[in-house]
Structure 1
């Protein structure tokens, strides 16, 4: 593993242990060249996933991008990091176990919406505002009015077709 500080290729593992949810191995590493210590995580990857964007463009799935979007939605919210990590692991497992290598970006967005709805209502609305491309305050009002109903009650098409 390359040292992220000095780029030395020869680092040493000092400690390995499973994460709390047993979905990854956490490794503490040491770089003998610069003396830096850092942590890496090793996860099982069942298959290479490709995200098919609305434009038809295909890009490799990046767990880190999913983590960043959730970090933004959950910014300054009192949600335990372990719950967020379990949600991310669950989404990735569901995507990998679908049997498909190509995943529509829309499907990923729906899984995130499902997870956020039960995790934190404010983060759910924040994420929805980007995912559903809200343009005006009335879009928020319509969405908030539908939150008491089911996901099917809210008509995605009226927001997606405008973009």
Structure 2
């Protein structure tokens, strides 16, 4: 991905979508004469979707690719071309955060389990995360559930860990139902 040149915003607003794409997107590699890259490039959107599934690896997808394309790329080149293609697909934006102003909170991923070492009992837990916007300082805690009481307790613990209450929390009081 490329950074936009320092320019005035009105100049960017006057450009067409195609012109803006050329500014942002890196040049696409030209497929070689044998067509292997062209064939791989056609498959990459589906490969990318499959990689979003839990338990699917690039190596698994490469094995499928080589099963269908015996003369296709070896694993290293497969990954190289996937990374290059992926860079052309992702746009990102940088946000500036004032120090201590915001904390981002959520429960992450699938439920985890804790095992009591004495009794052997397996207890399902939720994984709570809180991240400060500017410093990326992170707090994590396993809680029994995503119920309001557990969320508030974890949030209070995070705020104690961070050493204060961010201004965004004070301004944006959520309604508890």
Flag the structure with larger Rg: 2
What is the TM-score normalised by the length of structure 2? 0.29
What is the TM-score normalised by the length of structure 1? 0.31
